[in-house]
């Protein structure tokens, strides 16, 4: 894979976050409160599982990598001893 494609693609990250937000707003707007409460009980128990904790740690690592400061990339193909 080339160096340019190895970094984080912020457009894809923003699109994914927008889709997740749209899904959450859709559920909040269109699902009746009693049905949502009936479904949320087992999901709340599932969120305490070790797999969910590991997935949260993985996503946190992705977020840390995406937002960490990075060195500037010089892509002018000149040798460094030219200066």
What is the rounded distance in angstroms from the CA atom of residue 46 to the CA atom of residue 35? 18
In this predicted structure, the answer to whether residue 80 has a pLDDT above a threshold of 70 is: no
What is the rounded distance in angstroms from the CA atom of residue 31 to the CA atom of residue 27? 5
Q: Which residue has the tokens 């990250």?
A: 13
CA–chain centroid gap for 8, Å, is 11
For residue 19, the model assigns a pLDDT of 95
With the CA atoms of 58, 54, 22 and 31 taken in that order, what torsion angle do they form, in degrees rounded to the nearest 10?
180
Confidence of residue 1 (pLDDT cuts 50, 70, 90): very low
Q: Which residue has the tokens 């409460």?
A: 37
Q: pTM above the 0.75 mark?
A: no
- 21-66 residue pLDDT tens: 999 999 888 988 888 888 888 888 888 899 999 999 999 999 998 8
């Amino acid at each position: 894979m080339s160096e340019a494609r190895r970094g984080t693609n912020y457009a894809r990250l923003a699109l994914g976050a927008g889709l997740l937000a749209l899904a959450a707003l859709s559920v909040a707007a269109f699902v009746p409160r009693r049905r949502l409460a009936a479904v949320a009980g087992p999901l709340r128990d599932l969120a305490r599982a070790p797999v969910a904790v590991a997935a949260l740690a993985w996503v946190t690592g992705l977020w840390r990598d995406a937002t960490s400061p990075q060195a500037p990339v010089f892509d002018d193909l000149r040798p460094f001893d030219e200066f």
